[in-house]
Structures are given as structure tokens and as C-alpha cells.
Structure 1
């Protein structure tokens, strides 16, 4: 992947083995809101990467394997996560986009534009209520 100028950012399961032990063991004392970076590159699934973990306020831990610097890796993963959530919502969670059976490109384009606006609106409403 690196030869195409794409830096990998891979979410690690808690039981992923890094340096002979599960990744959760390395970050078990992480406090909510804290980001901890393991600066020494290690082998993860046969690739040399760095590892970081962060814990959100509800106490869920996110472990990532990445190349480069920690902050851009977290930002890239956040964008990816947002795109994955939107894709999942459009397909099966609430919009059921595949159920339309549209085949004409102009109609699909219009539908995608309207659904994308609706999705952003829902997201903005949810963010304003969470604040």
C-alpha cells in the first residue's frame, strides 16, 4: 500500500497479538479521553507498523496500527469511520437505498443527492442534541 502513497490505518481487535501479547494488555490502564502511542514500530500481521490506543468517555478502547504520525492517522481513521457509517446507513440501517431498484443514472444521482442531504441533516441534529 505504501508504494501508492497510501498510509495504512488498521483497527486492531483487542485480542490482536503484538510483541507476543494481546494489544489490550499494553493499553489496559488507559483512562477515558487519553491517547497513548507505542512509538516503537512492531510487526502487526506481518507488516511493520506503529500502534496507538485511545479510550472514549464511555470507556470503549480503539486500537490502531498505522504508519507515519499518530495525529494524522487518527484523523484518517475518523474520516474512514464516518464514511463506513454513512455507507452502512444508506444500505441497511435506515435509508435502504438498494430497495429502490433504480437503474437510470440521472435518477440515481438525484436520489443520492437527496439522501446525502438527509443523512447530513440527521447527523447535524444528532450532534446538536449531544452537545
Structure 2
């Protein structure tokens, strides 16, 4: 899996690091990430891109495109999971109806699927408390 970051010359950097992406991909089912072989972090702001959402999976180019600048890392992780769930064959009914826009009902159903993974990711992302034994 290749993870590519566009170069940025301003202060606001990409929201998510390579380490965080790899940690996420260890948690989620392997068949969710089988549709792409590259994660590309664009230097565009999401509002300046041609997409309605900050994460888009292109099955033609086998690329997960992420516009993460200006968005908190936790939200980007959530958006990645939302996009991957929509594209999974067993969750076809969760796919966006029009122009990659999800309605409230779809988002509720998607969150039922992704929330356990989000919780596990958050739990593993927390640094251990100093002076306490490590959490296993």
C-alpha cells in the first residue's frame, strides 16, 4: 500500500500521518481496503476540490483520495471509514444516492457499522498515562 502526500508550502499541513493511516488499516477488515492500492493526500482544501466530501475512492485508478487540510484528524478518519463502507459489496444499500451525498438515515446506518472501528482506533490512539502500567 502506497501512501502519498502532496507537498504543502503553507502552515496548515495534512491532518493525518502515515502512522495513523497504517494503524487504521490494521483495525478495519482487509477486504475494505482491497479496492485500492494507493492513499493520496491532496494539497487541496476540501472546499476547493471538485468533490462534495473530503474522501473519495476511485475504483478506476485504485486510489483513495483524501483532502484533509483544515479538517480535524478524527473527522478524516471517520470520513475514510464512511467511504470504505459505502464501497464494500456487502453494504451496497449504504451507498450515497446522488453526487456522493448521504442523507441522515444513511449516515445513521453507516455509523452503526463504523462506530466499533472508530472506538477501537481512538482507544489505540490514546497515549499511555505516565506512571501507569501499559494498557493491554
TM-score by length of 2: 0.31
TM-score, scaled to structure 1: 0.31
Task: Considering Cα pairs closer than 8 Å and 6+ residues apart, tell me whether 1 or 2 has the greater RCO.
Answer: 2
Q: Which has the higher strand share?
A: 1
Give the structure with higher Rg (CA): 1
